[in-house]
Copies of this chain bind each other. A is one copy, B any other.
């Protein structure tokens, strides 16, 4: 079985490395950034396909992990696309995009005689490399069963959520709540600093009380120390909260914290800090930082 990869960012590259480690044949990779694709291909000892059509033609299973809905639509419907000669192929789509685009891609893939599955990841680059991703899948169950032997090697937790779009919905809501908790933590630590509290003590108290959260563990110290090396970027956070906000609007729900969280991450992107880790939101809520001209 030949595996192709579309999108050689850090997540995709680490997934390919992991699959190779586990004995799978990652035979071709593609990225609009040709240099990045060539570099990863050299590392993995595989081909860097010049086109999506080539990649698809040479692979049995294709992982895709692209930026957003527009990129997702482009790789499946653009002038050069994955579906030109796709009979029998399985596309496993890992990007965090809207539920609607997954449904659309499934329909397009099936019209081309292929199959698609959404595999939404609630984890980051370290887990991708170690094969310990938290993976939630949506699509036809038969496609999930077909992908399962590969996905098991990438994940510590693998679950089938339901039909196409359902896993993306769960992912959107998970990231929306994670982003709110992150933005709230940044406000708490920012206020603590303004009040002259010892932030190490404050984080410890948070961890023992109703203020405890997973993001406190993953981002609290980084917020205090301004260590915003990127695991999950502010730009991604803005996009993901935006997906959730759109879903809320589509359903007539007003979600004020989701809205304000998106606004904060949009502010980071607009200020040129979209590439910082999501913990960088603390740069907006610490008084001493706000007054600085330069970034962290």
Contact = CB atoms under 8 A, between A and B. Distances in A.
B190 A253 contact: yes
Interface in A182-220: 183-185, 187-188, 190-192, 194-195, 197, 201-202, 205-206, 208-215, 218
A157 B257 contact: no
A192 B173 contact: yes
Interface stretch (A17-25, A52-60, A258-266): A258-266
A75 interface: no
Given A190-B253, A257-B183, A285-B253, A195 B173 contact: yes
Contacts of A132: none
Contacts of A157: 208
A218 B210 contact: yes
Q: Is the interface of A mostly helix, strand, loop or mixed?
A: helix
A205 B257 contact: no
A123 B210 CA distance: 8
Contacts of A256: 187, 260, 263-264
A147 interface: no
Contact of A208 (B134, B192, B255, B258): B134
A172 to B, nearest CB: 8
A145 interface: no
A135 B99 CA distance: 45
Interface residues of A, number: 60
A174 interface: yes
17 contacts: A136-B205, A170-B205, A173-B188, A173-B211, A176-B188, A180-B183, A181-B213, A187-B257, A191-B248, A191-B255, A209-B214, A212-B213, A213-B213, A251-B287, A257-B264, A259-B260, A260-B260
Given A180-B180, A194-B253, A212-B214, 12 more contacts: A157-B208, A173-B197, A174-B205, A174-B210, A177-B184, A180-B188, A180-B257, A184-B184, A191-B253, A194-B251, A212-B213, A259-B260
4 cross-chain pairs, A with B, having the tightest CB-CB distances, nearest first: A180-B184, A178-B210, A213-B213, A177-B188
